[in-house]
Each structure stands twice: as structure tokens, then as C-alpha cells.
A and B are shown apart, each in its own frame.
Chain A
Amino acid sequence: MQKILLLLATACCFLVSNAQQKVSGTVLDLSNTPIPGATVSEKGTWNGTTTNLNGTFSLNVESDTSTLIISFLGFQAQEINANSSGLNSIVLLESVNEIDEIIVTALGVERDKKNLGYAIQKIDSKELTEVKAVNFVDNLAAKVAGVTVSQGATGVGSTSKITIRGESSFTNNNPLFVVDGTPINNNTIVPFTTDAAAGFQEIDFGNGAMEVNPDDVESVSVLKGPSAAALYGTRAANGVILITTKSGKGKKGIGVSFNSTNTVETAFRLPQFQNTYGQGNSGEFEFVDGLGGGTNDNISYSWGPRTDGRLIPQFTSPTGGVRGGDVAVHGGSPISATPFLSYADNLKDFYKVGNTHSNNLVITNAFDGGDMRLSYTDLRSNSIIPGVNLDRKNLSARLKINATDRLKVSSSINYVNSQSDNRPSNGYGSENVNYSLVAWGPRSLDIAALKNYWQPGLEDVQQYSFNYTFFDNPYFILKENTNSFNRDRIFGNVMASFQLDEFWSLSLRSGMDYSTELRKFKRAFSTNRFQQGAYAEHQVGFRENNTDLLVNYNRKLGRITFDFSAGVNRLDQQASTVQTQTTQLAQPGVYSLTNAASPLQVFQVDGKKRINSAYGVAKFGYENYLFVDVTARNDWSSALATISSSENTSFFYPSASLSFVASNRFSLPERISFLKFRANVAQVGNDTDPYQTQGVFNAQTPVYGQPTVSEQSTIPNQNLQPEQTNSFETGFDFRMFNDRLIVDFTYYNALTKNQIISLPVSVTSGYSQQVINGGEVRSQGIEIILQSKLLKKKNFEWTSTFNFSRNVATVESLPQSDGRLTLGYSGVYDNTNQRVWFQVEEGGRVGDMYGTGYQKTAEGQFVVDDQGNFLADNDLQRLGNYNPDFILGISNRFQYKRWDANVLLDWRQGGVLVSRTQALAGVGGQLEETGNRPEGGIIVDGVVNQGTANNPVYVPNTTAISAESYYRQFYDRNHEENNTVNASYLKIREVAFGYTFPADKNTGIWKNIETLKISLIGRNLFAFSEVTHFDPEQIAVQGQQFVSGVEDMSYATSRSIGLKLGVNF
């Protein structure tokens, strides 16, 4: 701190330096456009200035023989004599090698990447928009070292989860999204769910950041570590995704561009089924009422007869002019027998061909006093899941006005409307169609017959299905039991910056992210969970305001550049969610809260939070090779206040970084074109959600209309401290052969401590969770970016980029003295044994999963009982870790004349998944693996203990059990071990193949066209993986949480192929 003061004092002295001769001039680029803000300094002195908006400058110099150095970011520096006649038009040439190196950093400041002492990676708009994904976050997959993206399980409109440098917090690992300097929310708000076996299931309405429109994005900077992000305060510990939208700057006058992307989607990876046996149990089946009235017709296992065409009454078989399954109509009259067959493609036929159309129209105008850009995008996507869609309209307006020489005003406003007629339900249960289609969909099920889903004459009252015990007809679910939403959102900011004098500037920015959303859940009569129908409305509101005031002092004095900024920020956040529901309707088919036949239930949660901050940053540069940044920030968070005290709400954290460009300091061998070393240390604090410091009583089921309350199940904490992450990061940037080979290496080591954890505690304490501070997690990793221009010929260029990262988060200490810390669990159903436990122990890794399995010998052989059955081992054992060992994105770009191609591969190695689909469809006898059913049964490959428990004598098992019994035990959902699969994959993530037409100004139709490009594009084309039944890229939604490492009855993801057309006028 003393050093900083000293430097400040030194700087002040020069404010009053004397000068003897005045020179002036104008700095221009090649197109004779003035360059404002270019640095002009007198060589060998501390003396210097910058150009004004007209590119002109004036400077008092020692003598007219002085040499001026003119420099500007992205241009080659130039030296010129102070007495030169060329001063009136100093033309700077663009610096070819470094043009890519301008990067948007914290607070939206554009900087030269070589000055930065921390890891930051940029994706430009081309990489983002070439093969656009509907969810913006998906566009980042495999393109940035250290960034992991996992897409959600319910098709277009699902949440994608993104983490930077893995998970080092036990609770919150979400990066902060910032658009044009204003934070936007990336929340996923899941509706209220009550009971596992009745009531509504989880529905994923997508994450906040999915709504950013890639067509409007100029670039994305990923600030990976705390040092890069420290200025963003409490939410920056997990990194920042900094999005800069396009502006209208560029060629003067009106510009119009249009692009259209049209793709078709098909189901990406479907379960592999056996098709030899059909519905039933113990080889028997006959349909009577689908409720157990026939032979095993209440069961939807495929342990029934062979599907060899034998004649069996089925739900599709005729009876008295209707179908066998029209139980309420035919009144039990005998059902004719029809051939019992397998429908090998029934699931494949269920998924449709989806389509996505995205049309984007942009108008830009650059004029003397500023520029503007207007963009409208219309996205319509119909999912491969029948009836599921997403429509989104993005309207974006960006305006920059240079009101006076000194005052600049700009705005960036985005309006988004998203809506869907139906978002499919997640998780385990009858609301998820995979329940009746995959897990419990027998192989003899003719899904096409279910399309006509009402029983005749009972429309709106009674569905038609193959089974009435637990299941709903999947078409009935998707067409009648819809979960629609409509969301309006505005995010953006208005900013004014004022140049006080040549050194001082002031800026004020106020931004907002506001959204309001109405969701409607309809459930028709005869729905299994709602025999008399149901209806819910879920209103979700969010508002975040950020106001920043920033003062900047910027000066170049000879060899030293200074840049000091100090600012304050106020963040106000307000979230509200109200769900009103009735679980019985008076009149079928009428979805309104006034049609309730049971008392309305209301769930309401409002949350408010304020964070006040003061921050400062000082940047120093010495010549062109040594750069130092120092930052400091103090936050005051309301979430740490109690209802009677706001002590403990303040926390401070500093950072420092250093960049040393060795290639600018020393003369290195010619083949080394650039070499930079960097290092930084940083600390970041993190607060928590509101209301963690005080407990409340929550309303419960009223008794005959009279209210009841129960104390919340979480023990609050009055003395919460902020979480703290201390990080150290170092790396180098090494370039050879005129930048044809670039290696960027980063190592980091961060310790997160005092974590705010909602810790599960024994319910015998009266509570099930406790909010505490504690635990230390060390997160270490490396990131390597390797880029090489393998071929660079006149007409052909091939560039390969590798983004490699490995992160390991190790638990160094736990809040308790020993044992394991349970961070959470993922359950199927309301049963403690059917859970995957997320636990950590000292020395263990974050992401370790525990569950149960079957008894084994020390050598790992199954121990079976004397009947040949597996023996349950109900002690928790480690199933594996869901985090990958490494991730590697490989991009190959080819350019041949007007043709270009790009192939993006996404390799995720290591990590495991616990699969519900495998467990349930395995138990149900649907999966291919269960097709081998020898008459004599199956002998478990294991041993029998003929000794005692303490002195075991193991002999090989020779007792066979029935195939049905074998598979039902093996895949039993109570034992996760056998349902744990290797989640590694290598995906062909994106492919693009394009042709740019030559612009020929002389030909009629081309007259007004500047460029025209057509591309063939593909996304998620193929995956190499051990997992055969589903896409290994998975996250699950359970309760209000997103869960990694668990595949929970997921829908097929989609492969998309299409055409993109882009035209500029």
C-alpha cells in the first residue's frame, strides 16, 4: 500500500511539469478515420498525452528535436520527429499479429492481452454463431480451456450447467454472467413440488443466460480465476462470463444484414432394447383392465411371454367395437386375442424430427456523432419430443452517442420474450413420459396406438392407455398435461462517461435485469396423480439493479503508464415466486383457479438482497514489457445481516497480478515470436442467499381450513462469515514461427475456506439441515491452450486449437472432526435407500458419490446366499466421482479459397454417472442386456460363504436363479453400484462447412450485396462412449437443485443438421 502511495505522489508531481514548446497533430488509421485516445509521448521523458475524439493532440515538448511515440491498442507504434511536417496526418498501421489480442476485461475495459497477468480467454462472434445452439451456454462448450458445459435433459429449453475450473465450493459454483458491464441472472427456478408419489414433478424452465442471443454478441471473455474477476466482487469467485454485444460502429452509413439458420433435429442416443419378450411377469400376460384384473396386466415389465406372434388379448385388441384398453367404455366385455409382437422401434418412432428456425435481421448505422445497432431475432424451435417447443424473440438496441467532445452516452437494451407450450417434466415419476416409455414401457407396447388417447365418448374425462396402475399415456401427458410458460425480460444499461480533462474521466452506469414469467400447469382428469385433474399457476419475478460510479485517472509518462480507477457499486436484487394450485378440478377441461374443487394451495417465496461495494484498481506499465495490476474491493452484503444486527456484513479482498513480456525485454531467437510470463494472487469473498441467519415457521396443510405451522427444517446461523477463496495462478504465453504455434499454459491453486454450507444433519436433531461456515477445498489445475497453423499456403489454411484442462478439487478439511460430510443426495422416490449420496471426506474429492451395492469378497467377487441370490450390502460405498479427469476441446478450421470448414470435438475423460434409466429399464427387463434368458436360469458369477461371517470359506456359486430374478436383483434401484457407468465421451460437437460467394458489384442481383455465405452445419453429430442407452452428457433436476453425476430418466438429446445463410447489404 505504501508503494502505491509513493507512486501516486510521484504521479502528482508530474501533473505540474513545465514545458517549452507546443506541437500538435492528428492520428488517423488507414482509412483516414481519426483515432481518439491514442497515446502520444515524448521519447525519453515522462511527458505525454492522448488524442481527443477528432484524433488530434497537442503537447508541450522539450524541444522541436524531440521524438514523439504514437501508439494505440491494436496498431503498430510509430515514432516521429516533433518538427516533422507529417504531424497532421500520422497514419497508424493495424498491428496484424495483435489485432486479436484486444480483450474485454473486468468493468468492460478493453485491454491488450499481453498486459494481463491472469488467464482470460476470448471467443469471438464467428465461433459463437457458426453453429448456434438454442441455449447460449451450449455455445461455449469445448471452446474455452477450463469451462465445462453440460446440457439439460428435457430437450430444447432445458437448463445447461456451466462451471469454470470445476467445483471448488460445496454449494455454489455458478459463474457470473455480465452483458455490456451489467450482471444478468443465470438462475433456474424450478416450480414447487410436494410429494414424490403424488403432485407435480420437477420441471426445468431453463437457465437465465440461455436467453442471450448469439447473433448480438461481439465477443465473450471468460475470466477464469479470482484474479481476473476480483473486481466483480462476491459473485466472481467462480469466474465471470463477460459478454460484449455488437455495436453499430464500422463503416459509415446504414448497413443491413440478415442471417437465417434452419436445422432439423433427430433423437441422438436412445436406449438399446431387447425385443424377444413382451409385457408381463414370469412369462405370462393377458390384458383385461390394465389394473391387475387380467394376468399381470397391472405390471409393465417385459418379463412376459415371447413376442412370437402368439395370440393374447391386449389393450389394442378389439372388443365390442372399441379397443381393449377402453375399459370404461366396454365395461369388461371379453377382449379378442391378437398377435403378441415386439415393437423394436417404438421409442424411435415416438420421437419426431424436430426443427429450429432462427432468423436475425440487423440494421446498423454509424454516423459522425456515434453509432447504433438494432437487431431482431426470431427463434422457433420444435423439439423432437412431441408437443414440446420454444419460441424466442430477441430485440436488441445499442446506441452510442458522443454528445460533446467530453460526454459520451451509450445504452445497451435487450428485450426477450420466450415462451413454450410445453416443457416436459423431469425426474422419476409418471409425469415424465420416460417413465411409461422407457423404464416401464414394455417391448410389446404399440406406442402408435396410444396417439388416440381418449376413450371414445369420454374425451376430457378418461384417457386410454396400456396400463392404469402407475402410468399415463405419453401422448396424453405431452398434449393434455402441459407446462407452458411465457417470460418477458429486459436487461441492459445506460451509461454516461465524461472526460473531465485529459487525465480524469468519470463514468456512471446503471443497469437492470428484469423478468416476469407466468407458468401454467394443466392436468387433465384421469391423470394418474390427479384423478380429478389439477391446475397450477406459477408466477416468477426477478429484478436486479446495478449502479456503478467509476472515476478513472489515466496517464502515460515516458516509459510508465498509469491507470487508476476507483468506483462504487450498489446491487439490489429482488426475486419472487408464487405458485397457486388446486389438485382437484370441478369441471374437466377447464383450467382456471376458479374451477378449483379443493382448497387452493399457495407457495410463496420472496427474497431481497443488497450488496454495496467500493473498489479500486491501479494498473502500471513499464515500457512494453512489465505490467502490474493491483485491485481491492470491499463488499457489504445484507445477506450476512441478522434481523437485529448488521455487524459482520463487511468483507474486503485484494488481488495483484504481474505480466512480464520477455520477448519485448530481451532479444530472443528469431523463431520465438512472443514470450510472456504471468503470475497473480487474489482473494475473493462470497456471501450467501438471503434469510440464512434467521429461522421461520412455515405454513403447513391446513386442518379443516385452520392454519398450521411447522418450524423450518434448516438451522439458521446468526454468525455467518463470508466464504473466502485465496488463489495463486501462474502461466506463460509462448509463440513461435511468427505466431504459427501458440502455447498458453496456466497453473492455478486456490483454497476456498469458510464455505457457507447448508449441511444435512441427523433429523434426530429436529432439523434436517444446518447453515454453517466451514471446510476447506483446494482446487488445483492446469489449462493448456495450444494453437497451431498447421498449414498456411496461399489458398489453404488449417488451424488447430486444443483447449485442455484438468481440475481436481480436494477436500483439505471438514467442518466436523472426522468422517464424511454429506453435501446432498439425489433420490429416486421417497426412499432413503434409493439415494446417491454426495459426500466428501478429508483427502477426498468434491464430486464423490456414495451408494449401496451387493456384498463382495475382498477380491471383489459377489457373495451370494445358498439360494444363489445376491446379498445386499447396505453400507455406503464410494461409487466414483462425477467430475472428469480432463476435458479437451479440439477445433480444426480449414480455409480453402472461398470454402471454409470447422470441426469441433469435445472430449470429456473420466467421471461416472449413476443411471436411473439403466436401473429401472434393467429391472423392467426392457434393456438389451436383459434379453438373454436361459431356461435353466442364470448362475450369479460369485461365491457362497460356507464358513462363518468371521471365518469365511468361499466356494464358487453353482445355484442358478431365474433370469428375471437375476436381472431384477442386479439392476435393483436400491443398489446404485451396478448402475454406475463411465461417463467419458468424445463428441463431435459442431461441424460447419461453408462457401462465401464472391461479391460482384456489376451483376444485377448482387448489386447491393456485400457478402453472401451459405453453410452446412451440424451439432452433436456423434459420440464415442461406453454408455449405450443415453447421451452421457447429463444433469438431473431434483427438488430445486441441479444434480451432476446422475442420469434421471432423461429424454433423448438431439442431433441437429441444417443450413445457414448469411447476407450483408
Chain B
Amino acid sequence: MKLVKYVAFLGILAVALVGCKKDFEEINTNPNAPVEAQPSLILRQVIYNTGEEMSYEGFVAGNLLSQHFTMVDFNLFDRHNLAQPQLGGNPWPILYQNLRDNEILLNKSRTSAAFEVYEGPALIFKAYLAGMLTDIYGDVPYFDAFNGKAGTTAPKYDSQMSIYTAEGGILDALKMGVEKVANYNGSFTLQGDVLYQGNLGAWEKFGNSLRLKYLLRSSSKLANEAELQSIVDGSNYLNSNAENAVFNFSNGQPNNFRMANLRDGDFNLYVMSQTSEELFTKYNDPRNELFFRPISNSPTGAIIYEGLLNGPDASSTSISIADYSLPGTIFREETGRLDANYMTAWETNFLLAEAAEKGMISGSAKAFYDLAVQQAFDYWEVQMPPNYLSRTPAAYGVDPLQQIAEQKWLANSINGYESWIEYRRTGFPVLKTVSASLNGDLIPSRMPYPTSEQALNADNYNVAAGNYGGNSVNAKMWWAD
């Protein structure tokens, strides 16, 4: 029967041609990138990316809030409409992406004995990222966060207090992280460590310095004296600049400071602020020559550093940037001299000076302060003027808490949002009311949640924003309440 023949013929050909779903698994396996990654590659990424991004954030946004710089145009952010930054000004996705990658690293370290060495550093770095995050925004998704793969795509917001104090929070993670690093007795080395090249002892010190920072920051709410004292007694924190947690930028791409790659116009939007001018003048501090260039429009040809009051209304004032000091060559032409700053000995010693001054720890506040100031000059490779520490206004003791805060501020350029965070905690240095404020002449005390949260995590956002008076930038941090 012909029909049968044809049908059989067709059937054989059909099966040969189609073969249904043979090889499908292989065909749909992505050849472009690995499904699993070595922990060293992730650690290197998390450390470098955080430092690179947050240093850039520090330049383009953090330094505006802390009034190191002012921005002459496209400056709604500098006028304190923080929802409308021009460059940067949105650390939210940076921190969450790195928290996510760091979490992957942490999970790997806990599931394979060969990777256990990464657990301590991952815990310390988690706390470091979480600290930046909550101190910029306040309540944020944390305990349910960076867990999208397990199904939580709209995590709830956690209170800043719980992020500091709860199990798995900043203080707990730092403590555990330091212990893990100290107690690690396996034979595997920490790879991908661009901070310390696998030196676990240095990680212990980095962790302890961060503990000092977050214990002090929360000391208005928590009785942290004993813990602070025990860290001081152990003396196992960042003591010298050689131990600093820093990443040295290169001069050329791709590991140079990002401002070197931007357009002239972007760089030239930033000039010395009046706050900077006054503080550097007050201390007669030579570091301004590193951080700024003399004005190009000097009438007599003399070297002049000139700052501009933050937050000008560019549409009603005519600003000639030739009349103001642009940021120094270290930020553009010579970024090989610049470091991404994660934590330093000088910052640690400023913290200890404050703690000692407040009587939270034993020891000489002045000794800590003097060491910190010296280390801060060394860090920026600027010779500290003779008698700098023995003459007013830097000589310790006139108004010690203000001096500590101001000296820290002078050295704390492009360190993410740290200078502004410390201002919100200490009130120093006294910042200026910006020229054309879009925030009722108030200095903002938190960054607003980004618009994307309103769109993508609406229910949780609404609760959290409601707690801050409708996502108000003037709501206070828990530790500053």
C-alpha cells in the first residue's frame, strides 16, 4: 500500500530531522561565562569595585555634602535636592551589588572547607558595606536583602538599630569576622586580596579598626565602652599607615581614578568650596595645594586659592570657574598618587582620640590626636609644617572634639560619604547654609531612597519612607536621634 510506504518514509525522515530534544542541555548552556566562580575573583571584584565606585562617589557627591567641593552647574544635588544628582550621587546600587557578590563569597566560604579562609574577610567586608549603606540612608533592606535568587525580590526595610545591633548586623559581623580571621588555621591562602595580599593579620587589624568606628558611631545609643576598651587594650588595630586598608590607583586605565577619564567639562564642574577655603586657611594647612589648583584668573599672577559658597543657583548667577580653585592634579592628571580609602590608621587614631576625650577609653586623647594628624599628613604625602601641632588652632585642647572632627575632615576627601556622616554625628566642622538651598536652608541628614525603590519595592518603600516623613532628607539617623 503506497500510503503506508509514504507515511513510513516521512516518519523516518521526520525523526532524523527533528530528533526532538537531543543536545538541548548543551545548546542552552551559556558558553560566554562561567556558572560558578572562584572566590578569589569575587573577593578581588568586591574590594576593588567598592573602592573605585565609592571614591568616585566621594568626589562627585560625598564631597559636595561635606562641602569639600562645590558644583557650579547641574548642581541640584549641591543645592540639596538630593533626589536629582547629576554625576554619581546614587550609591544605593553600588553597595547592594557588592553586598550581593560578597554574600555569594560568604556562602561559598561556609560550604567548602577549601574556601573557609574567605569567611572572615567576607564578614568584615559585609559589615563595612552595610555600615556605609545604613549611615547614608538610615533604615534599609538588609536582613532579607541580596537574596533575590531565593525569591525575595522586594525585601523589607530593617531599622538602622537592628542593622547595627542584631545578629548578623554590623557589630556582630565585625566581631565574628575578626574572630574567624584570628582563628583560621587551615592551609589555604586568601587570594584576590587587593588590600593585603592575603595577610590575615592585617585583616584582623582592619576589622578591629572598623569595630572602633561603628562602636563609636553607635555610642550615643549603646554602652560600648567596655568593648572599645578591650580593642584598645588588644592594640590590634590599624596602627601605622603601612597597615592602611587602601587601594592604590594607577595612572593609566583601567585602574586609574575615574575622574581622569571623564570629560573636561565634568571635571570643571567641581571647584573648591568656601568651607574648604576657610578651613584650610584657618589651619594654614598646606594640603590645600594638593587638593586644589590656584585660580587661573589671578589678577596679579599671584598664587591664590579661592572657594565658592556651596549650592549656587547657576541660572541666576554668572560663575566664572577661572575665579575659583579647581580640584588638584592628584584627582585627574596624577591619579597614581591617589588611594581608595577603606580604613586608615589616622582615622582610627582620630576615633580613639574622640573616645578618650569622651572618657570612653583610657589613654591620652592628645597623643591619639597628634599621631592621627601626623599620619594624615603622611598619608597625603604632604610635609606637616613645623609646629603645626603646637600652635593654634591645631594644637590640641582648645576645643578638642571640634579639632578632632575638623582635622579628620581635612584629610577625609573622596572617602565616600564619610565626612558628611561624621558631620551629622559630631556637628563639625560647622557647614555653611548653601547659597540657593532647595531644602529650606537645612543641611540634609540622610540621602533619600532612590525613585527606583518607589517603583520596584513599593510596599516596603512606603513603610520605610513613611517612617522618615515621606522619604525626607531631614530625618535623623538612629545614632543621631
A residues whose Cβ falls under 8 Å from a Cβ of B: 12, 15, 197-198, 280-284, 288, 291-296, 298-299, 303, 430, 467-471, 500-501, 504, 506, 528-529, 547, 549, 551, 566, 568-570, 583-584, 597-599, 601, 604-606, 608-610, 612-614, 636, 638-646, 649-650, 690-691, 693-704, 706-713, 715, 760-768, 770, 819-820, 822, 829-833, 835, 837, 839, 850, 852, 872, 874-876, 962, 964-965, 968-969, 974
Chain B neighbourhood of A701, CB < 8 A: 48-49, 52, 254-255
The answer, among A639, A711, A822, for a CB contact under 8 Å with B101, is A711
Give the distance in Å from the alpha carbon of A499 to the alpha carbon of B406 in the complex.
Answer: 94
Give the distance in Å from the alpha carbon of A704 to the alpha carbon of B258 in the complex.
Answer: 15
8 contacts between A and B (CB under 8 A): A197-B262, A430-B263, A646-B25, A696-B30, A696-B33, A704-B250, A706-B44, A766-B148
Nearest chain A CB to B142 CB, angstrom units? 9
Give the distance in Å from the alpha carbon of A650 to the alpha carbon of B252 in the complex.
Answer: 52
Asked whether A468 lies within 8 Å of B264 as measured between CB atoms, the reply is yes
Chain B neighbourhood of A605, CB < 8 A: 32
Asked whether B318 lies within 8 Å of A12 as measured between CB atoms, the reply is no
Chain B neighbourhood of A303, CB < 8 A: 315
Give the distance in Å from the alpha carbon of A501 to the alpha carbon of B6 in the complex.
Answer: 11
Asked whether A760 lies within 8 Å of B456 as measured between CB atoms, the reply is yes
B322 close to A (CB within 8 Å): yes
Known: A291-B321, A765-B148. 14 other contacts (CB 8 A): A470-B263, A528-B265, A547-B17, A608-B28, A612-B19, A641-B27, A646-B25, A690-B28, A697-B36, A701-B48, A709-B45, A763-B452, A765-B147, A831-B84
Asked whether B34 lies within 8 Å of A697 as measured between CB atoms, the reply is yes
Nearest chain B CB to A833 CB, angstrom units? 5
Chain A neighbourhood of B165, CB < 8 A: none
Contact mask for chain B residues 232-258; partner A; CB cutoff 8 A; 1 contact, 0 none: 000000000000000000101111001
Which residue on A lies nearest to B320, using beta carbons? A295
Chain A neighbourhood of B103, CB < 8 A: 766
Asked whether A765 lies within 8 Å of B24 as measured between CB atoms, the reply is no
B64 close to A (CB within 8 Å): no
Chain A neighbourhood of B31, CB < 8 A: 606, 608
B391 close to A (CB within 8 Å): no
B37 close to A (CB within 8 Å): yes
Give the distance in Å from the alpha carbon of A708 to the alpha carbon of B37 in the complex.
Answer: 9
Which residue on A lies nearest to B148, using beta carbons? A765
- B55-103 residues with Cβ-Cβ distance < 8 A to A are 73, 76, 81, 83-87, 89-90, 92-93, 96-97, 99-101, 103
Stretch with Cβ within 8 A of A (4 or more), from B120-128, B149-157, B360-368:
B149-157
Give the distance in Å from the alpha carbon of A613 to the alpha carbon of B19 in the complex.
Answer: 10
Give the distance in Å from the alpha carbon of A829 to the alpha carbon of B86 in the complex.
Answer: 8
Which residue on A lies nearest to B248, using beta carbons? A704
Give the distance in Å from the alpha carbon of A819 to the alpha carbon of B24 in the complex.
Answer: 37
Chain A neighbourhood of B320, CB < 8 A: 292, 294-296
The answer, among A430, A646, A709, A765, for a CB contact under 8 Å with B42, is A709
The answer, among A566, A643, A822, A962, for a CB contact under 8 Å with B29, is A643
B145 close to A (CB within 8 Å): yes
Chain B neighbourhood of A584, CB < 8 A: 252-253
Asked whether A610 lies within 8 Å of B24 as measured between CB atoms, the reply is yes
Asked whether B27 lies within 8 Å of A974 as measured between CB atoms, the reply is no
B467 close to A (CB within 8 Å): no
Chain B neighbourhood of A284, CB < 8 A: 318
Chain A neighbourhood of B455, CB < 8 A: 760, 820, 822, 837, 839, 850, 876
| Given A641-B28, A646-B25, A703-B44; A715-B263 close (CB under 8 Å) | no
Asked whether A693 lies within 8 Å of B28 as measured between CB atoms, the reply is yes
Give the distance in Å from the alpha carbon of A199 to the alpha carbon of B6 in the complex.
Answer: 61
Task: Output the residue of A288, A601, A710 with the most chain B CB within 10 A.
Answer: A710
Asked whether A764 lies within 8 Å of B146 as measured between CB atoms, the reply is yes
B454 close to A (CB within 8 Å): yes
Chain B neighbourhood of A850, CB < 8 A: 455
Asked whether A695 lies within 8 Å of B28 as measured between CB atoms, the reply is no
Nearest chain B CB to A301 CB, angstrom units? 9
Give the distance in Å from the alpha carbon of A830 to the alpha carbon of B93 in the complex.
Answer: 12
Chain A neighbourhood of B161, CB < 8 A: none
B41 close to A (CB within 8 Å): yes
Nearest chain B CB to A828 CB, angstrom units? 11
B18 close to A (CB within 8 Å): yes
Nearest chain A CB to B5 CB, angstrom units? 9
The answer, among A598, A706, A708, A835, for a CB contact under 8 Å with B253, is A598
Which residue on A lies nearest to B44, using beta carbons? A708
Contact mask for chain B residues 248-279; partner A; CB cutoff 8 A; 1 contact, 0 none: 00101111001001111110100000000000
Asked whether B149 lies within 8 Å of A715 as measured between CB atoms, the reply is yes
The answer, among A569, A761, A830, for a CB contact under 8 Å with B148, is A761
Which residue on B lies nearest to A699, using beta carbons? B33
Asked whether A469 lies within 8 Å of B264 as measured between CB atoms, the reply is yes
Chain B neighbourhood of A697, CB < 8 A: 33-37, 41-42
Chain B neighbourhood of A698, CB < 8 A: 33
Which residue on A lies nearest to B41, using beta carbons? A709
B399 close to A (CB within 8 Å): no
B457 close to A (CB within 8 Å): yes
Asked whether B35 lies within 8 Å of A695 as measured between CB atoms, the reply is yes
B304 close to A (CB within 8 Å): no
Nearest chain B CB to A922 CB, angstrom units? 13
Give the distance in Å from the alpha carbon of A839 to the alpha carbon of B455 in the complex.
Answer: 9
Chain A neighbourhood of B84, CB < 8 A: 831, 833, 872, 974
Give the distance in Å from the alpha carbon of A694 to the alpha carbon of B32 in the complex.
Answer: 12
Asked whether A822 lies within 8 Å of B268 as measured between CB atoms, the reply is no
Give the distance in Å from the alpha carbon of A558 to the alpha carbon of B39 in the complex.
Answer: 76
- B295-319 residues with Cβ-Cβ distance < 8 A to A are 296-297, 313-319
Nearest chain A CB to B107 CB, angstrom units? 11
Give the distance in Å from the alpha carbon of A819 to the alpha carbon of B456 in the complex.
Answer: 9
Give the distance in Å from the alpha carbon of A551 to the alpha carbon of B318 in the complex.
Answer: 79
Give the distance in Å from the alpha carbon of A478 to the alpha carbon of B459 in the complex.
Answer: 49
Asked whether B28 lies within 8 Å of A638 as measured between CB atoms, the reply is yes
| Given A197-B87, A703-B44, A964-B316; A710-B101 close (CB under 8 Å) | yes
Chain A neighbourhood of B457, CB < 8 A: 762, 764
Contact mask for chain B residues 435-459; partner A; CB cutoff 8 A; 1 contact, 0 none: 0000000000000001111111111
Asked whether B155 lies within 8 Å of A764 as measured between CB atoms, the reply is yes
Give the distance in Å from the alpha carbon of A643 to the alpha carbon of B30 in the complex.
Answer: 9
Which residue on A lies nearest to B31, using beta carbons? A606
Nearest chain A CB to B262 CB, angstrom units? 6
The answer, among A281, A469, A501, A549, for a CB contact under 8 Å with B13, is A549
Chain B neighbourhood of A549, CB < 8 A: 10, 13-14, 17
Chain A neighbourhood of B30, CB < 8 A: 690-691, 694, 696
Which residue on A lies nearest to B14, using beta carbons? A568
B481 close to A (CB within 8 Å): no
Which residue on B lies nearest to A839, using beta carbons? B455
Give the distance in Å from the alpha carbon of A398 to the alpha carbon of B287 in the complex.
Answer: 78
Give the distance in Å from the alpha carbon of A852 to the alpha carbon of B140 in the complex.
Answer: 24
Contact mask for chain B residues 123-149; partner A; CB cutoff 8 A; 1 contact, 0 none: 000000000000000001100011111
Asked whether A766 lies within 8 Å of B28 as measured between CB atoms, the reply is no
B20 close to A (CB within 8 Å): yes
Give the distance in Å from the alpha carbon of A293 to the alpha carbon of B295 in the complex.
Answer: 10
Which residue on B lies nearest to A284, using beta carbons? B318
| Given A584-B252, A700-B45, A767-B149; A874-B17 close (CB under 8 Å) | no
B104 close to A (CB within 8 Å): yes
Nearest chain B CB to A759 CB, angstrom units? 8
Give the distance in Å from the alpha carbon of A701 to the alpha carbon of B452 in the complex.
Answer: 26
Nearest chain B CB to A653 CB, angstrom units? 17
Give the distance in Å from the alpha carbon of A822 to the alpha carbon of B456 in the complex.
Answer: 7
Asked whether B28 lies within 8 Å of A764 as measured between CB atoms, the reply is no
Chain B neighbourhood of A839, CB < 8 A: 455
| Given A704-B255, A766-B103; A642-B25 close (CB under 8 Å) | yes
Asked whether B318 lies within 8 Å of A281 as measured between CB atoms, the reply is yes
Asked whether A832 lies within 8 Å of B21 as measured between CB atoms, the reply is no
Asked whether B155 lies within 8 Å of A765 as measured between CB atoms, the reply is yes
Give the distance in Å from the alpha carbon of A15 to the alpha carbon of B1 in the complex.
Answer: 11
| Given A695-B35, A697-B33, A764-B140; A644-B28 close (CB under 8 Å) | no
B398 close to A (CB within 8 Å): no
